[in-house]
Amino acid sequence: MKTKAVVALLVALLVVVSGCIGGGTQEKSTPSATSQPHEQSETQTTSSAPTNTQREAQDQTNLKTVNFSELFSKVIQLSLNPTVIEKGNLTIEYDGKRIHGRYDFVISNLSESVFYLGAMGLPDDPTALILNVSIEGTPLNLSRLKGYRAGSEEVYGTRIKPSYLIVYEIPVDSSKSSIKGTITYSLKYPLFLDDFWQYAGSPIMGFSITNSKSFGLNLTYSLPEGYSLVIPGYGVLTGSGRISGDRLMDSLHCSFIRRGEIVSEKFSVSGINVTVYLASSQYVPEGWNKTIALIKQAIGLYYNITGVRPVNSTYIVFNPDFSRSFAPEPEMGIIIIGGRSNIRILYERKPNSLPHELAHLWFAGYVGESPFNEGFATYFETLAIQRFTPWGKLYLKRQEDNIEKYGTISINEAYKLTETGQHALNMSVSVVIYQKVNFFLRSLQYLLGDETFSKGIHTLLERCHGKEYTLTDIQKSFEKASGKDLDWFFDEWINSIALPDYKVTQLKISENGGGYNLTFTITDANNFTMPVPIRIYLENGEYLDERIWVNGTATVSLELPGKPVKIVIDPEEVMANVNRESRVNDVAVKVD
């Protein structure tokens, strides 16, 4: 299955809980101690006074009001399994405040007696989107249609601008080979919703046929003087005109309109043609230069490690309609970076968004669908952050803290919950699927060595090019690359919620001629089998790195050229483990 921009781009691949790096704690996606999974909060509010969303839902008597998580799950399943093919002509006129549009469409390949139309709205602004639908020339009374409605008011325990999504069930005669329909709409633009899944279809449409694959669109557009429409793959459009394309609807879901010039840059790196778009209101020279440099560095790094060029061209859109980033069409090379802030603030507070989404060109664009794409993207993103920005150490620490706090389910359990989109709503699923899988891969790299690990990545990319893949594919690829059985390693990291919990005991130091003998025991309360990196700092500030196999416990005996003063376990953060600090016989011990 391919990722498809749908109602609210719900199956997009995004950066969920990485949080901001340079900007303190003010960003919405930074986990806090009081964060609750979405569904729990829904339950808590249902017994209190009706919210705006619930009051308005009473008008729509045939719509079943469900919680957002439930509708989200339904939409993901509909959009990942498109049953109808959609072609159409869309005309949009923007007047600087509203988009007035008309969409004439034909859907074919009907197998059911309904198709699904998703639409969005604001509970406190009934005129945000005004929609009229007719099928085969007969206008539909939308308030009579069956379907589902859900309000969205928070994510990870943080309040967001309230919005709602509706999925209408539109009855059709499935004995016909195709059905014609017309949707006319008037949409307030821009709406500035807080999260990407609050938009249905696209910020410039507000609706989409949920269970369809759009193949063939003609777009006629008209913009006021001084405005630009950015469509990735089609460029920057002004005035009025007409364009067409088989995948134009997918591109349109990633588009935006803004007043003023669009800052754009084109270059080639590792054989990939890159085009970057930014609204001029968000342009700051220093932030732009650092961002362009990071794009070049990240693509170069990923190409070197993977040995794969996933696309010929990529379009990176800093889209001011979104605050979060995602890669809705990675096989088309399209990447959306939430561009609500100016480019300098984006670079400083969320430098991880860009390298994360770029990694999806490989993991989602080159290989097919898998929940593990998020972990691979987080792995590559973290490498880029470590190598090309000053925030590597802080970033790893934050991820490891999240895993200790939220890692309450195993990777295997989280994997199953991604089928219903829970990684975009539930903090535990999200932390495990993004950040714990990242650490799982870092540990695998340390176990196998850099060269064998790269070979395994390359093997996986080629084995699963254009195909969905599973954990078995990952394990087989790394087993093939290393020639080793990795059952034990996958089992202990994938099926357990435990983390290694190391302690140093029985530490003895003795002088030995000009040097010192150091002996100690490492014990892991959770009994993992792992090669453990250990750094010993000497009195003169120098250090030595050792690699010790710990199978529940290990005794270490070292001859050192100077007096040891500090032992750091896992200094480069190759594994997610319980962090602690202590002193043993005057030696500082830090488990990092």
Site stretch for Zn ion (CB under 5 A), options 8-16, 203-211, 492-500, 550-558: 8-16
**Closer to Zn ion by Cβ: residue 87 or 360:** 360
**Closer to Zn ion by Cβ: residue 195 or 524:** 195
**Alpha carbon separation from 165 to 126, 189, 208, 373, 417 (Å, rounded):** 13, 17, 11, 27, 21
**Contacting Zn ion within 12-71 (CB under 5 A):** 13
**∠ CA 551-555-561, rounded to 5°:** 130
427, 35 contact by CB (below 8 A): yes
Number of residues that bind Zn ion (CB under 5 A): 3
**Closer to Zn ion by Cβ: residue 194 or 374:** 374
**Closer to Zn ion by Cβ: residue 279 or 332:** 332
Residue type, 72: F
**Closer to Zn ion by Cβ: residue 120 or 377:** 377
Query: CB of residue 374 vs Zn ion: minimum separation in angstroms?
Result: 5
**Closer to Zn ion by Cβ: residue 357 or 592:** 357
Q: Cα–Cα distance between 265 and 253 in angstroms, integer?
A: 21
**Closer to Zn ion by Cβ: residue 358 or 396:** 358
Q: Which of 139, 145, 200, 132 is nearest to 171 (CA)?
A: 145
Task: Show Cβ contacts of residue 112 under 8 Å, excluding neighbours closer than 6 positions.
Answer: 83, 174
Cα radius of gyration rounded to whole Å, the chain: 26
Query: CB of residue 252 vs Zn ion: minimum separation in angstroms?
Result: 22
Q: Cα–Cα distance between 51 and 494 in angstroms, integer?
A: 41
* List of E strands, 379-466: none
Query: CB of residue 129 vs Zn ion: minimum separation in angstroms?
Result: 28
Q: Cα–Cα distance between 245 and 250 in angstroms, integer?
A: 10
314, 361 contact by CB (below 8 A): yes
78, 156 contact by CB (below 8 A): no
317, 328 contact by CB (below 8 A): no
Question: Hey, is 76 helix, strand or coil?
Answer: helix
Site stretch for Zn ion (CB under 5 A), options 5-13, 225-233, 505-513, 543-551: 5-13
Query: CB of residue 356 vs Zn ion: minimum separation in angstroms?
Result: 6
Site stretch for Zn ion (CB under 5 A), options 9-17, 210-218, 258-266, 304-312: 9-17
Query: CB of residue 424 vs Zn ion: minimum separation in angstroms?
Result: 10
Query: CB of residue 9 vs Zn ion: minimum separation in angstroms?
Result: 13
**Contacting Zn ion within 72-131 (CB under 5 A):** none
**Contacting Zn ion within 289-308 (CB under 5 A):** none
**Contacting Zn ion within 224-243 (CB under 5 A):** none
Query: CB of residue 399 vs Zn ion: minimum separation in angstroms?
Result: 14
Question: Which run of H or E residues covers position 402?
Answer: helix 392-406
Quick one: three-class SS letters along 450-485?
HHHHHHHHHHHHHHCECCCCCHHHHHHHHHHHHCCC
**Contacting Zn ion within 339-378 (CB under 5 A):** 374, 377
**Closer to Zn ion by Cβ: residue 42 or 357:** 357
Query: CB of residue 546 vs Zn ion: minimum separation in angstroms?
Result: 35
**∠ CA 410-419-5, rounded to 5°:** 135
Q: Cα–Cα distance between 279 and 588 in angstroms, integer?
A: 52
**Closer to Zn ion by Cβ: residue 13 or 219:** 13
**Closer to Zn ion by Cβ: residue 181 or 375:** 375
Query: CB of residue 362 vs Zn ion: minimum separation in angstroms?
Result: 12
**Closer to Zn ion by Cβ: residue 326 or 528:** 326
Query: CB of residue 550 vs Zn ion: minimum separation in angstroms?
Result: 32
**Contacting Zn ion within 374-413 (CB under 5 A):** 374, 377
Taking the C-alpha atoms of 470, 212, 132 and 164 in order, what is their torsion angle to the nearest 10 degrees?
A: 0
438, 378 contact by CB (below 8 A): yes
Query: CB of residue 274 vs Zn ion: minimum separation in angstroms?
Result: 19
Question: Hey, is 297 helix, strand or coil?
Answer: helix
Return the bridge partners of 566, or none.
537, 588
**Closer to Zn ion by Cβ: residue 94 or 156:** 156
296, 273 contact by CB (below 8 A): no
Q: Which of 43, 10, 28 is nearest to 210 (CA)?
A: 10
Query: CB of residue 270 vs Zn ion: minimum separation in angstroms?
Result: 21
**Closer to Zn ion by Cβ: residue 8 or 13:** 13
Site stretch for Zn ion (CB under 5 A), options 10-18, 50-58, 305-313, 393-401: 10-18
Query: CB of residue 370 vs Zn ion: minimum separation in angstroms?
Result: 12
**∠ CA 589-383-314, rounded to 5°:** 165
**Closest CB to Zn ion: residue number:** 13
Binding region for Zn ion (CB under 5 A): 13, 374, 377
